[in-house]
Amino acid sequence: MSRTLVEMTADIIQSQISGSNMSTEEIKAALNDTYQALKDLQEAEQAGTDLEEKEDKPAMDPKRSIQKNKIVCLECGQSFKMLTKHLKSHDMTSKEYRKKYGFSSTQSLCAKALSEERSQASKERGIHPNLRKTFGNRSKKYKK
């Protein structure tokens, strides 16, 4: 017996939830995205066409891809804590990825929680003596 798209979507998301903590809004977004992807695949299969023209479209809205506990790769739709190493599998650099999807050059390509964690750890460690010395030299240079 053939399964419906809703049943397949529910099974996929249920297995995804069991492996990670997801908020309610993340679950809703995943359900919608997965259902749409399955629907597109089904329509392409019935029409006998390829989905190549849809591959240029990001996996999700770039603004929503950087979330609290994960960042979603806009190339393939997979979730990570940090994208930098994963982008090599798409033959992309961080700079190319940011440019392609309209992120600023200073945008961190990691989950917000990881970024905050690193920021806090850096603040707790304080400024390294060599860096403090460099800052001091800069301020002297500008006073002249």
Q: Which two tokens stand for residue 78?
A: 């997979």
Cβ–Cβ < 8 Å for 39, 49: no
Based on the domain organization, do 46 and 77 belong to the same domain?
no
Query: pTM higher than 0.75 for the full model?
Result: no
**Owning domain of residue 94:** 58-144
Give the distance from CA 76 to its chain's centroid: 10
Q: Residue 57's pLDDT is what?
A: 66
CATH of the domain at 88: 1.10.10.1550
The residue written with tokens 């770039």 in the block is: 62
Q: How many CA atoms lie within 13 A of 6 on its CB side?
A: 0
Say if residue 49 is in the same domain as residue 64. no
- The pLDDT tens digits for 6-56 are 888 888 888 888 877 878 888 888 888 888 888 888 888 887 766 555 455
Are residue 30 and residue 100 in the same domain, yes or no?
Answer: no
* pLDDT tens column, 60-85: 888 888 999 999 988 888 889 999 88
Confidence at residue 51, expressed as pLDDT on a 0 to 100 scale = 55
Give dist(CA 80, CA 73) in Å, integer: 8
Same domain, 18 and 80: no
Residues 35 and 66 in one domain: no
Percentage of the chain modeled with pLDDT above 90: 19
Q: Count of domains in the chain?
A: 2
